[in-house]
Structure 1
Amino acid sequence: MIHGTKQDKILGQEFSVFLSKKLKKKFSFLSIQRIFGGASRETYRVALKDEDQSTVNFIYRRSQNSSLIETDQKTEYFAYSDFQETEVPVPTLIALEESSDVLGAPFMVMEELPGKVASPFDKDAYIPHEAEIGQQFWEILGKIASHDLTNSKLRELSEEKTLNNCGKEQLEYWVEVIRKDSLGVEPILEAAIRQLQRSEPLPQLG
């Protein structure tokens, strides 16, 4: 059964053609389902049938004209690429397409991570594994925070960015965004900004 609107079905069929050429495999389209909740991309789960007649699920993240979060898709793709085959659970990347010529908008493709998302309204969703899941959560965040950026693909995004100035650059950028969107002066927020400005990371030697 093919799910989704008529426009989505056409998109899913075009996606299967693209992926067949990209991976040099024969895929046939089964279904496409919009995943709601992402603020920066249109996200779809696309089910395809491969040459062995097995169902394979892919995640297709497509740029949109307007979004709640301003992000560069290449930044997202490179961030995922830094953690491929590591202990940080990220999906296996398939493709990044920056042109709108292929499917009407820039997009990225990845394999689907198996699992289910618990309802935020179910307070018992994680019983009896709350402590274990919490421990894993903070360990993963620690691995991300301590990741060595020396050979990171993220550094390819700008030759001018260095480990010593990227923090200051991002702080200045988001302070400007916050102040532009604020309805008035926000004392607590301004205090937090001043604290961040006073505690910039020390320059790395060497």
Structure 2
Amino acid sequence: MPDEADLVDRDRLRPFLAERLGETDQFGVERHDQGFSNETLFVTWGDRELVIRRPPPGETADTAHDVLREYEVVHALQDTDVPVPTTVAKHEDSDVMGCPFYVMDRLEGDVMRFVELDRFSDADARRRVGEEMVDTLAAIHTVDVDAVGLDDFGTPEGFAQRQVDRWTEQFEWAFEETTAEREVPEIHRIGDWLDENVPDESAHALVHGDYKLDNVIFAPGSPPEIGGVLDWEMSTLGDPLCDLGWLLFFWPDPEDDLTPLMQTMAPTFTQDEAYLTRGELVERYEDRTGVTVENQRFYRVLAVYKMAALGEMFFARYLMGNSDNTLYQMMEDGVPTMADHAGEIIEGERPL
């Protein structure tokens, strides 16, 4: 894990910020230790709290988790109904931090990752958490991309098919390393089913790419209100129901028997009384967008397939000695478990 010295040169960052925000005597930097991709730094600049997003150290320009693309979408959404942090600046060169980066204001509030916020523990608040998640997703999917300058932000035609192809390729890469330890034959059946069931037509919209509870921040106070949507690095133009399927994967229902793996990946408190069920999330999404959610099994299976592919890559990196993360090791059994999960959705054993 890189430390702060690997990520920021304070002597170079300070004049960059001073030129844009004015001088200050109070300047601090702290690395945020959550996440698996782009690096997040919390910066104190006088009485202003900032966030810097940059790629991990050692990445090349071609593979550096394009933070400038993330900046582009967050900046474009500033005056829309989608809650996002206020952008401050971007820097495309490597002279300040050794890589491109961007700066935004830090939002006040809380992220619900695995623990329910005490202030949201009553029935009304629990219902509102789900409603906020759906309403904000609907706001993302109904953005006028032409009006905000994102009309060339991706190629929505054929998006779902490309997702199937992409994650199949990731499996193939990982299997070169992992099959010597164990095989996952069910994954091939899942991939074939997805390939045969890609919807002929789909809506085109801005998609977030990783929309779930721990990628939004809830503003202080009650009732629950999303103050900002975070982590836009996977965003593009595509099929919005892929976002919905991803949200549903990370939203356990009360009757779900969660495996130990899922208990480490998804919040379990959505199983508690008064939280919206997956079916209720879909109904509200249809109401807010005017879109009828057809082929829900495809999008839910695709979400599991994507997560399983990520898991298989994690396991491959663990076997290569590139990570000692406990989650990566858990994927030896976790990916076969997810393959079974996807198969149960296909067979109708896990309805909405």
Look up the match of 1:15: 13
The offset of 1:130, in angstroms, is 1.0
Instruction: Give the counterpart of 1:177 among 157, 166, 170.
Output: 166
Look up the match of 1:155: 151
Gap change, CA 1:36 and 1:76, over 3 Å in 2: same
3-state DSSP of counterpart to 1:167: coil
Q: Distance in 1 between matches of 2:115 and 2:189?
A: 33
Query: Where do 1:86-125 residues align within 5 Å?
Result: 86-122=80-116
CA shift digits 1:67-101 (9 cap, x unpaired): 9x974223211211232133322000011111112
Q: Distance in 1 between matches of 2:188 and 2:119?
A: 37
The offset of 1:42, in angstroms, is 1.0
Look up the match of 2:236: none
**What RMSD, in angstroms, separates the aligned Cα atoms of the two structures?**
3.1
Amino acid at match of 2:149: K
Look up the match of 2:70: 76
Instruction: Give the counterpart of 1:187 among 186, 189, 195.
Output: 189
- Gapped regions of structure 2 (runs ≥ 5): 176-184, 205-352
Gap change, CA 1:104 and 1:33, over 3 Å in 2: same
Q: Distance in 1 between matches of 2:73 and 2:107?
A: 16
Instruction: Give the counterpart of 1:58 among 15, 29, 50.
Output: 50
The offset of 1:9, in angstroms, is 9.5
Look up the match of 2:37: 40
Gap change, CA 1:201 and 1:48, over 3 Å in 2: closer
User: Relative contact order: is structure 1 or structure 2 higher (C-alpha 8 Å, sep ≥ 6)?
Assistant: 2
Look up the match of 1:52: none
Is 1:199 aligned to 2:195, yes or no? no
Bigger strand fraction: 1
Amino acid at match of 1:147: V
Identity among equivalent pairs (%) = 23
Amino acid at match of 1:188: I
Look up the match of 1:134: 130
3-state DSSP of counterpart to 1:103: coil
The offset of 1:21, in angstroms, is 1.0
Q: Distance in 2 between matches of 1:9 and 1:96?
A: 16
CA shift digits 1:146-202 (9 cap, x unpaired): 111113333355xxx6xxxx1235445433431222136532233234433523448
Gap change, CA 1:178 and 1:118, over 3 Å in 2: closer
Bigger helix fraction: 2
Worse-superposed segment, 33-42 or 69-78: 69-78
3-state DSSP of counterpart to 2:150: helix
Gap change, CA 1:70 and 1:30, over 3 Å in 2: closer
The offset of 1:123, in angstroms, is 7.8
The answer (yes or no) to whether the contact 1:91–1:112 under 8 Å persists in 2 is yes
Q: Distance in 1 between matches of 2:12 and 2:94?
A: 13
Amino acid at match of 1:175: V
- Counting matched residue pairs gives 184
3-state DSSP of counterpart to 2:143: coil
